[in-house]
Amino acid sequence: MNDTGSLVTLAPDSSGPAPTGERWIRFAKPARWIAIAGAVGVLAAPFMAWAYRPDALDDVSFWGEPSPLQWFAFALGLLLLGCLVAPFVIKPRPGRRPRRLLAFNRGAKAAASGSLVYFAVASAAIVLELGGLVALEPGAWAGLAGALVATVATRALPEGHDPRLQFLNTPAWGQILGIVGAVALVLFAAAYGLGQDGASTFVTFGVLCGVGVYVAARVGVMGWLSAAAARNRRALVLAAFAVAFLFPMTQDGSDANMSIAVGVLIFAATAMGLNIVVGLAGLLDLGYIAFLGAGAFTAAILSRSAFATLGWSPPFPVVVLISGTVAAILGLIIGSPTLRVSGDYLAIVTLAFGEIFRITMNNLDGVDGPNLTRGSNGIPAIPDLELFGFDFGESHMILGVQIGRFANYYWLMLLVLALIILVFTNLNHSRIGRGWVAIREDERAAEAMGVNVFGLKLLAFAGGAFLAGIAGAVKAHVDVSVTPDQYIFMESAFLVAGIVLGGMGTVGGVLIGASILKLLPEKLRFFEDYRLLMFGVLLVVMMRFRPEGLMPDERRQLEFHADDDELAEEIGENIEAHVIPSLAGAPEPDLKGDDA
């Protein structure tokens, strides 16, 4: 076994083929001009009609008047052209060893492929919806051809060095400015994207954003941003929260998007609570939604609804605590017998627990058991919250902007989310967090270090349940009614999927992952039927290309970034070149497939 293995590994090392780009280097000059011609094609396409009839892709049948969807294509064209032309304008600084801060060729390759995908998908959608290739008008052909030409031509451009922008010495205010700018851009994109009613426009805008981020990453801007963000954590957090706080202001009192936004926040807060259990302590909980349900039912029963079954309604802050506690007690009950066994058993037991919870809620209807939840009818007509004289059901004028019911709850949920994130980060960096990581790595060795493995697992389980219970208490009031069928297994599965997608054990990653998973089906009704299939495919793709999630955990990146600060300074002083490629290349080990 061993012998053949070593023989096989020896072979490719000695005679590996040259990277695609470098082999065609002598064609680089003409290729650039051909690619520019392609980019012009992409830029021209939006001003022509793409489809014969208006009923595909939110109407792209006009000449000279681009629809939003066509403007997105125009933006992609600009991005592509920019990357191609930039090297003429921005020359590398002369010197003993020229320093290239940005990798424009890589950006051009990414932008060209992105445009091609964009036009291919758009054309396919038109062909499918309108029946046949005849439905395609010259605009679609021009875009397809331009993008194809650009994609092929950019293959001949050399890859160039890894971009070194992230090692550029930037003053602190410059870094913070960059962070604030990026976060503001995210707010703008979110507000604009949510404002799109047409499903196709929404999807294509998402694609534009995705391609934009990808190009920025390839060019080297993202590296700089994440380095700046790592060094200015507090600024990043403040900016992110300020933006999230301002979001309702962009909605002109419209409740349509705010109700979606509240849903996203509730989902994200729950995912963040589960992130403590799964991401930090490494316990796979497939029934977590039951804790959200426990909190919601508790709050509903204790609310002033005419259908509440207890007839006792304490003030909301008390209700929140009781809801959290009920959920935590459930967590203890389910956790104490099961946390002694590890791994797969826990997943199975929690899965069963989630179902038992739902069925129990269905049966506490006065027929099969005491009347607590009114069975499958649930508890409707839960009144809006009133906290410190602030009525969450009413619209308010704040700074001249109408703030509706859902916007009120949005702000409340933002507070809850902030609380959960605070708990999460504090735990993560505490002694307890270290104990959890040790348990995740090696349970027996952790025990030998004096880590109370069972106790810490139970703490994670019950603590996570408590936080979900709090979120559930708010959710009950947002949703107005609480029924058992809101808390099905599928929701638990999506929570876990959001965490895996974003990056286990991280804050930013899980927020992004949860938002994506919740937002897509809300915005795309047609997507509803296929959402399981899509998420399945998405997760499989993720596991293959980026198993650590969109934004991996810093502990997992330790290896690559150990001496980042020192190195950045060293590089600023032009010290030995050979250190740099290994460092700069390390964080993106999986991206090389994209140029093939």
Angle at 392 between CA 391 and CA 397, to 5 degrees: 80
DSSP string, 402-465: EE-HHHHHHHHHHHHHHHHHHHHHHHHTSHHHHHHHHHHH-HHHHHHTT--HHHHHHHHHHHHH
Give 174's DSSP letter. H
- Contact range with other proteins by CB under 8 A, out of 252-260, 360-368, 391-399, 555-563: 555-563
Q: Three-state DSSP class for 99? A: strand
Residue 442 interacting with other proteins (CB under 8 A): yes
Residue 185 interacting with other proteins (CB under 8 A): no
Residue of 44, 352, 437, 480 that binds other proteins (CB under 8 A): 437
Q: What is the rounded distance in angstroms from the CA atom of residue 185 to the CA atom of residue 202?
A: 17
Residue 140 interacting with other proteins (CB under 8 A): no
Report the residue number, 459 or 512, with the smaller CB distance to other proteins.
459
Residue 448 interacting with other proteins (CB under 8 A): yes
Label residue 191 exposed, middle or buried (CB < 10 Å: 0-12, 13-18, 19+). Answer: middle
Residue of 26, 431, 525, 578 that binds other proteins (CB under 8 A): 431
Supply the minimum distance, in Å, between the C-beta of residue 452 and other proteins. Answer: 5
Residue of 58, 355, 391, 447 that binds other proteins (CB under 8 A): 447
Report the residue number, 479 or 548, with the smaller CB distance to other proteins.
548
Residue of 65, 197, 368, 441 that binds other proteins (CB under 8 A): 441
- Contact range with other proteins by CB under 8 A, out of 59-67, 190-198, 327-335, 428-436: 428-436
Residue of 38, 324, 435, 498 that binds other proteins (CB under 8 A): 435
- Contact range with other proteins by CB under 8 A, out of 87-95, 421-429, 551-559, 581-589: 551-559
Residue 449 interacting with other proteins (CB under 8 A): yes
Report the residue number, 91 or 431, with the smaller CB distance to other proteins.
431
Q: Are 557 and 509 in contact (CB under 8 A)?
A: no
Give 527's DSSP letter. G
Residue 227 interacting with other proteins (CB under 8 A): no
Report the residue number, 137 or 548, with the smaller CB distance to other proteins.
548
Supply the minimum distance, in Å, between the C-beta of residue 434 and other proteins. Answer: 6
Neighbours of 113 (CB within 10 A): 21
Report the residue number, 360 or 557, with the smaller CB distance to other proteins.
557
DSSP string, 362-415: HH-BSSSS-BSS-GGG-B--PPPPEETTEETTS-EEETTEEE-HHHHHHHHHHH
Angle at 108 between CA 104 and CA 111, to 5 degrees: 130
Report the residue number, 281 or 289, with the smaller CB distance to other proteins.
281
Taking CB under 8 A as the criterion, which residues in 452-491 touch other proteins? Answer: 452-453
Closest Cα partner for 535 from 551, 520, 553?
520
Residue 562 interacting with other proteins (CB under 8 A): yes
Supply the minimum distance, in Å, between the C-beta of residue 429 and other proteins. Answer: 11
Binding mask 500-539 for other proteins (x = CB under 8 A): ----------------------------------------
Supply the minimum distance, in Å, between the C-beta of residue 566 and other proteins. Answer: 11
Q: What is the rounded distance in angstroms from the CA atom of residue 79 to the CA atom of residue 60?
A: 22
**Cα→Cα distances 267→275, 321, 324, 414, 416, Å:** 12, 20, 16, 12, 12
Rounded to the nearest angstrom, the gap between the alpha carbon of residue 115 and the centroid of all alpha carbons in its chain is 22
Report the residue number, 130 or 227, with the smaller CB distance to other proteins.
227
Report the residue number, 20 or 452, with the smaller CB distance to other proteins.
452
Reading the block at residue 37, the tokens are: 């011609």
Residue of 555, 574, 581, 592 that binds other proteins (CB under 8 A): 555
Number of residues engaging other proteins in binding (CB under 8 A): 23
Residue of 451, 510, 512, 568 that binds other proteins (CB under 8 A): 451
* Ramachandran quadrant class, 503 (left: phi over 0; alpha: psi -120 to 50; beta: rest): left
Q: Are 107 and 174 in contact (CB under 8 A)?
A: no
Residue 566 interacting with other proteins (CB under 8 A): no
**Cα→Cα distances 159→35, 156, 216, 552, Å:** 15, 9, 15, 26
Report the residue number, 95 or 450, with the smaller CB distance to other proteins.
450
Report the amino acid identity of residue 583.
L
Neighbours of 54 (CB within 10 A): 14
Q: What is the rounded distance in angstroms from the CA atom of residue 449 to the CA atom of residue 500?
A: 29
* b/e burial code for range 84-100 (CB count within 10 A of at least 16 → b): beebeeeeeeeeeeebb
Report the residue number, 322 or 456, with the smaller CB distance to other proteins.
456
Residue 53 interacting with other proteins (CB under 8 A): no
- Angle of helix 233-246 relative to helix 405-428, nearest 10 degrees, comes to 160
Report the residue number, 479 or 553, with the smaller CB distance to other proteins.
553
Supply the minimum distance, in Å, between the C-beta of residue 577 and other proteins. Answer: 23
- Contact range with other proteins by CB under 8 A, out of 88-96, 187-195, 200-208, 448-456: 448-456
**Cβ within 8 Å of residue 524, ≥6 positions away:** 199, 202, 203
Residue 558 interacting with other proteins (CB under 8 A): yes
- Chain residues binding other proteins by CB under 8 A are 431, 434-435, 437-438, 441-442, 444-453, 555-556, 558-559, 562-563
